[in-house]
Structure 1
Amino acid sequence: MLVLGIETSCDETAAAIVKDGREVLSNIVYSQVEIHNQFGGVVPEIASRKHVEKISYVADMALKEANIEIDKIDAIAATYGPGLVGSLLVGLSFAKALSYAKKIPFVAINHIEGHIYANFITYPDLKPPLIVLVVSGGHTNLIILEDFDRYEVVGKTRDDAAGEAFDKVARYLGLGYPGGPAIDKAAKRGDEQKYKYPSADVDEYNFSFSGLKSAVINHVHVLQQRGEEFRIEDIAASFQKAVVDTLVEKTVKLSLETNIKKIAIAGGVAANSKLREELSKKCMQHHIQLYVPDFKYCTDNAAMIASAGYFKLIKGHTSSYNTNAVPYISLVSKKE
């Protein structure tokens, strides 16, 4: 089955062709990072206008790179939320219109769910059950994936997501946008033991990064007021350690308590080198198999959306043309 995936939830315009949910034939991403960098973050109106300009182009390029005619496509999958509503509407409207015109089945995909399926692209033989940690700019979720399209959300953030905290701290430190890679790069030159910041722990499996973010910003403010010298690299490293320690501890704990000895990570923060390193160490220590997507499938892309679409389609799920963009949708437990 050939699925055309469309992803426009934020500031990447993406299209991809995926075969049978795992084999990527093309994966085209037009990034707006340079455009939004000057503003220190994504400007929604600019993002949606750029999507309008580029959506037809990236879809055409995906078909050309895969050497596939549109009439050979079996289904179209598109992100319907969460994300920026203007951006979501561009990709969703394009996908529905193309589906209607070509009489091709259409399926709407939750963006967070899409991130999970990036692992099934990188690891063609991977099968549930497994523990999944989804960490991105807008979401932090701890999930038990019982089967394809069947999962339980065990934990989530109560406020800021991990990636959002990275962005805000990076902006305050003057490290630029996007914040995740900037913090990661600066932390490599810093001393992570220099400062002790509070944990992002809330209760058994939930997170809270708002307090941690505020603690770092307030600490830097106090140092500046006192005229004390400090290295931004040390701040970045200590902050990153506090984030990663909590993510790793809770994820491994869930794996051990459920006896599911397979952990997968997903989302933009899954590209963080410290998270990969520490989670790998803990998994080796407890004889847990760790699955980490290729870097290109960690950030927003359409291949993961096409993959998620395939696994929904083979279970008989399609979506109505009345499906609308839902900017604030959460990932909730799904049972068949």
Structure 2
Amino acid sequence: MSMDTRAAPYSTGPGTATGPLVLLGIETSCDETAASVVRQAADGTVEVLSSVVHSQIDDHAAYGGVVPEIAARSHVETIDGVVKRALVEAGCDWSGLDGVAATAGPGLVGGVMVGLSYAKGVAMGRGLPLVAVNHLEGHAVSARLGRPVAYPFLLLLVSGGHCQLLEVRGIGDMSRLGTTLDDAAGEAFDKIAKAMGLGYPGGPALERLAATGTDAGAERFDLPRSLLGRRDCDFSFSGLKTAAARLSQGLETEADKADLARAVQNAIARQLAERSVRALDLFSESHPDLDRPAFVVAGGVAANATVRARLTAVAEARGFDFVAPPMAYCTDNAAMIALAGAERLRLGLTSDLAVAARPRWPLDEARALSDPTHAPGRKGAKS
């Protein structure tokens, strides 16, 4: 499939906003229907007035993963109630909003269309500006929901569908330093957990099992260390995924499974740390004037305690502040979409009602189009 190269059409409004902004955010890119109301003050501080997430875990559990058609149908059935609940919990009505933001991609396009269409209806019916948001940009700013994080910063975006290292200079101004060559870290967690019979969602289940294993027991499993010694910032988890799935077939006791889960978790955390060290050094070389810049880790895998510990250690060793979103905003949520929308609206950037849902939408579109090593067909280019 060829890569969708269309950018969301942003138009420039009358000028930058100088006062507080209240945005409704809508997120439907995968298996969670979410709505949130966020207030961003003029100085950039953020208050999440409400954040409602309707999870579809029970709908997909029998299939061991997300079924796109089921996800889209659930979004249609629940989105109106989720949005109205978010407004009620925020103590806000339609007249109190300055705009509406919605994920326009990347993601399961059926679900994205549901949320984006709903937002278009709100924008048209209520006379509000619409901001189409890149889901990955939402993750990029999610740490700012918990504390002020100054631009520029280094971002590790690590989730079920994405694994990228990016230099974030501001909203809409990001450069990718590295990406996965095959599977994302969260996908590896989920697929290995499925092979081990741990159920869905796999990542949290594997983390719980790994907590009962031992490091000594984990060391007996020979798992590959992909890209070891390479000087770039890319990732690869397919070899680890295949090896772990094969090893799991010969295990009989729960203790053995726990040790393998711990080995997998340690291996993923190690590779994330090893590749991040290279990006931290590159960022420092590019910004020698910054004193303790932020190393932001966002996405669902950022909730894993072992991953956090390893990345905190490498950040500290390189003179960076480790920053992660509050746990509630690591996984998919609408607060991050509302904040990304507020930051764009503050710059006077809005979207036309003709904006289309995009299954693929790289944050660093220029590199995805120009760099043959990040060509269509690789996960990093699709993301």
Which category describes the TM-score, using the shorter chain as reference length?
Answer: over 0.9
Aligned letter for 2:328? K
The answer to whether residue 134 in structure 2 is matched with residue 114 in structure 1 is no
Conserved 8 A contact 1:14-1:301: yes
Write out aligned runs for 1:73-88 (5 A): 73-88=97-112
CA distance in 1, matches of 2:336, 2:356: 20
**CA displacement at 1:254 relative to structure 2:** 1.5
Aligned to 2:55: 31
Aligned letter for 1:251? S
User: Aligned residue pairs: how many?
Assistant: 331
Write out aligned runs for 1:128-207 (5 A): 128-191=151-214, 192-201=218-227, 203=230, 204-207=232-235
Aligned to 2:239: 211
Q: Would the alpha carbon gap of residues 333 and 249 (structure 1) be closer, same or farther in structure 2, given more than 3 Å must change?
A: farther
**CA displacement at 1:69 relative to structure 2:** 1.1
Q: 1:236-267 CA deviation, whole Å, 9 max, x = no partner?
A: 11111111111112223312332163200000
Q: Would the alpha carbon gap of residues 200 and 240 (structure 1) be closer, same or farther in structure 2, given more than 3 Å must change?
A: farther
Aligned to 2:338: 306
Question: Which of the numbers 269, 276, 279 marks the counterpart of 1:251?
Answer: 276
Question: Which of the numbers 110, 117, 127 marks the counterpart of 1:93?
Answer: 117
TM-score, normalisation: structure 1: 0.94
Q: 1:95-123 CA deviation, whole Å, 9 max, x = no partner?
A: 01110111100011111111111101111
Q: Would the alpha carbon gap of residues 6 and 234 (structure 1) be closer, same or farther in structure 2, given more than 3 Å must change?
A: same
Aligned to 2:370: none
Q: 1:114-165 CA deviation, whole Å, 9 max, x = no partner?
A: 1111101111x21111110001111001011122331111111111111111
Conserved 8 A contact 2:235-2:275: no
Q: Note the residue ranges of structure 1 that are not aligned, 5 or more in a row.
A: none
Q: Note the residue ranges of structure 2 that are not aligned, 5 or more in a row.
A: 1-20, 288-292, 368-383
Q: 1:49-90 CA deviation, whole Å, 9 max, x = no partner?
A: 111111011110111111111012111100011111111111
The answer to whether residue 273 in structure 2 is matched with residue 241 in structure 1 is no
**CA displacement at 1:334 relative to structure 2:** 6.9
Aligned to 1:265: 297
TM-score, normalisation: structure 2: 0.82
Question: What is the RMSD computed on CA atoms of the aligned residues?
Answer: 1.9
